[in-house]
Structure 1
């Protein structure tokens, strides 16, 4: 009898059964282990990007409004009807370099507008009910909706503008007269897991924009409160007629019940460009007995100007704008 060779291999049935059970068991464990530990996992992985995105939108975006019936839109949402607001942002508007009366759909990154800050805070505290996208919102929920904080889940939020030396335990809010300039949202809880995001920002003051003829004078009136106020800074940019910058002029006067049209800055010519500051000494000399003062700013041949208030932040280096921190808490 001859011996026959065979190249075919056969696996043991016991081995195949064992390896199948092993693979099924491993697959089950891989699927079940994350669910077992899910209740003990932190939510910070979810909160951190939401807090970062919210802080970035407020600090870098101007916001946007659009009226469907008139087909008009713009970045100055603070001047539009609340029903037309599409996005909320606090970044100061950039202006068309060829026409300073027109706004561009880009913000000055980390330079916030005093007007937008005031409007956001005023809107939140107005306690209105608004119909938006066929749904009724309180001001709290409307702002949450525009910031995208109720898409996947509903987040609680607290947004404020604070001095640089403020802390979580002892926040120091930038004041608007006797109230915080910006402090909106839920009260931050002491026990919940919270994601806090801060952005260092500068504050651009109330501004008036327009093309002014050489012979014209434009006046802007801004009321500010004492005793927090230490100084004013008036800044100019872009002369309407660059070949006649020597005709620019700047006149700043202070008024209250005891003094009328006290002149603190009266300059003309080339040196009227740039920024000019008068300090607390001037205010004390004339207005130390007053709780409120009115600043009258007149200018000529200037396309863009603003008045910065020292009490809206800290002075850093030679910056003409006060600095503060935008604080966003999400939970």
Structure 2
């Protein structure tokens, strides 16, 4: 009798195990699949969607300028604010990134779907969204490009990593032979900028009208000569890379000069005139007394990693 009772208990235990243990594993697998899907979906939305805003009268992809009417959060750059799509997935807008950092936690969770519903109750996922350069979170306009919480070392999670191009700033490109000057055959060029500056002022000049032993000498703002510590100068030959420029180096016709001015030099809401002084470089185009920085702006994109972790 005891033997039969023991066998019965063993069979019941085996039956319980057969019935319920697979359910445990299926539940865990389903949970992991949900986390993986949430991480993948979030990475796709952020990198492939420019986002969308709308109200009763208008709509567009420029949600970063209408944060009270956001319908979708997306960070992809948008050339046409009336199109719901981007032609440049994985190229991310600086303005959208900064506004993404400032959105409320509730809005980010809801708009990106970083939650699950359990018996009608919203259960938020833990998450971390980071934009990394050289393994460290990128800083744009004093904002660290990371949202969410740090991941605990023992935490199970789903992780997606994508390589993206991040807009990190702007620079203005000028053809040296087209820069206008305020005097005949001048050796300096004037470039005006409307302050205040929110980022460094970067000027790139190509195609110089240079003579023997041509050089870049120095720069001034509104008549005051700057210290060499106020700006950085790089030079690139026709097919080379940019490298540090020394005042003893000769500029050639097909060189490019890249001058990066500290943004603190332009703190006020007024016009600043940057004068670039050269030796044996001639600017011959007569016209306005200065060129405008804003007329030739191009965006700077740098390679980075988007890392999305969900748990």
User: Which bin holds the TM-score, normalised by the shorter protein?
Assistant: 0.5 to 0.7
Aligned residue among 74, 83, 90 for 1:89: 74
What SS class does the counterpart of residue 298 from structure 2 fall into? strand
Contact 1:78/1:119 (<8 A) preserved: yes
Q: Which runs of 5+ in 1 are unaligned?
A: 1-26, 96-101, 125-138, 167-171, 209-216, 226-230, 235-252, 266-276, 309-320
Residue 188 of structure 1: aligned partner: 151
| 2:161 maps to 1:198 | yes
Residue 223 of structure 1: aligned partner: 198
- Work out the CA distance in 1 between the residues paired with 2:202 and 2:160: 30
| Higher-RCO chain (CA-CA 8 Å, sequence separation at least 6) | 2
| 2:129 maps to 1:159 | yes
Deviations 1:191-237 (A, max 9, x none): 111111111111235579xxxxxxxx996764336xxxxx9587xxx
What SS class does the counterpart of residue 326 from structure 1 fall into? strand
Aligned residue among 71, 84, 88 for 1:105: 84
User: Superposed, which structure 2 residues align to 1:115-130 within 5 Å?
Assistant: 115-121=95-101, 123-124=102-103
- Work out the CA distance in 2 between the residues paired with 1:67 and 1:185: 28
Aligned residue among 60, 63, 71 for 1:77: 63
State the 1:186 CA deviation. 1.9
Q: Which runs of 5+ in 2 are unaligned?
A: 1-14, 118-122, 172-190, 205-218, 234-240, 247-257, 267-271, 275-291
Residue 293 of structure 2: aligned partner: 298
Contact 1:199/1:326 (<8 A) preserved: yes
Contact 2:202/2:259 (<8 A) preserved: no
Number of residues paired by the alignment? 215
- Work out the CA distance in 1 between the residues paired with 2:29 and 2:202: 50
Contact 1:75/1:104 (<8 A) preserved: yes
**For the structure 1 residues 52 and 299, does the alpha-carbon distance in structure 2 shift closer, same or farther, using more than 3 Å as the test?**
same
State the 1:143 CA deviation. 0.7
Residue 113 of structure 2: aligned partner: 148
- The TM-score with structure 2 as length reference comes to 0.55
Residue 174 of structure 1: aligned partner: 138
State the 1:103 CA deviation. 4.0
- Work out the CA distance in 1 between the residues paired with 2:221 and 2:107: 39
Alignment RMSD (CA, Å): 4.4
| 2:305 maps to 1:325 | yes
